[in-house]
Amino acid sequence: MAEEIKKRTTYLSRGALKPRAYVGDGLKVTFRTLVRTTIHRPNTIQYPWETLVKPECYRGRPGITLETCIACSKCVKICPNKCIEMVPIDHPTLGKVKRPQVNVARCMMCGYCAEVCPTDAMIVTPEFELAAYTRSALMYDPIKLQHERKPGYIVHSPMVTPSEMKSGRTDSHDKGDMAIKDTVQLDSRKCISCARCSKTCPVGAITMTDTGELNPKTNKPVKKPVFDDNKCVSCEQCVDVCPKSCLSMKEAM
């Protein structure tokens, strides 16, 4: 048996090979391939004259619908390549607003921005042929980033929480479900009632509410923020603007 294996794994010297073996066998393979690829279609295609049909859920460069974006910056925070930033635009119907700009040269087309977008304003498009002569041409400002929408371009990744998984439940939660939504926590002892959080919230989920107490210095009613968790999109903008760091996010999972 060992002898047999040794025989099979030992290369023969060129001199020991018969001409038929090193010329004839090679030519046989060449002609067989030539005939096969002439009669049958090859596996490769003549790109760019031919292209493959892409599925509708193909993840190419991101695209946006400016009207449904709420400027929450969640796409900016999630982007692993840090290629999104919020820039001001002067839109004919929306007025002066901030919307995402994407550096497509750095985008790895992961689709996380579309997945995290609470309003599905950010989508993935089938565009992947993005070559340009300058780097600046690959900076897609909000106007250039716009793209038509189709159902397959919207990214939703339903999730099952770890506790549900342990208990054997398989029903999943879509984006926005309370079971998977991070919520804002307030440390009211630190709050100075400046209302910056409620002014910043892009969805109006924070209401400055009368606590029934009076400020001993100004003799005015003390107001504290109250959060509407159903409206909140967990963007953390209120946490970022609070001057006394009295807000934090409570992670759902």
Which of 122, 155, 180, 191: binder of ligand SF4 (CB under 6 A)? Answer: 122
Residues 123 and 63: beta-carbon distance below 8 Å = yes
Question: Contact between 153 and ligand SF4 (CB under 6 A)?
Answer: no
Question: Contact between 232 and ligand SF4 (CB under 6 A)?
Answer: yes
Our CB check for ligand SF4 shows the closer of 154 and 160 to be: 154
CB atoms within 10 A of CB 194: 15
Which of 97, 105, 110, 195: binder of ligand SF4 (CB under 6 A)? Answer: 110
**Inter-CA distances, 224 with 187, 204, 242, Å:** 10, 15, 13
Which of 105, 109, 159, 194: binder of ligand SF4 (CB under 6 A)? Answer: 109
Q: From CA 208, how far away is CA 195, in angstroms rounded? A: 7
Question: Contact between 101 and ligand SF4 (CB under 6 A)?
Answer: no
Question: Contact between 145 and ligand SF4 (CB under 6 A)?
Answer: no
Which of 101, 237, 242, 246: binder of ligand SF4 (CB under 6 A)? Answer: 237
Is beta strand 95-103 parallel, antiparallel or unpaired with respect to 84-91? antiparallel
Residues 116 and 74: beta-carbon distance below 8 Å = yes
Q: Which stretch binds ligand SF4 (CB under 6 A): 19-27, 41-49, 78-86, 210-218?
A: 78-86
Q: From CA 114, how far away is CA 153, in angstroms rounded? A: 9
Which of 123, 238, 242, 246: binder of ligand SF4 (CB under 6 A)? Answer: 238
In our burial notation (b when 16+ CB lie closer than 10 A, e otherwise), range 170-179 reads eeebebeeee
Question: Contact between 236 and ligand SF4 (CB under 6 A)?
Answer: yes
Which of 63, 107, 145, 186: binder of ligand SF4 (CB under 6 A)? Answer: 107
CA-nearest of 105, 100, 59 to 81 is 105
What residues line the site for ligand SF4 (CB under 6 A)? Answer: 62, 64, 69-75, 78-81, 83-84, 100, 102, 107-113, 116-117, 119, 121-122, 184, 200-201, 203, 205-206, 227, 232-238
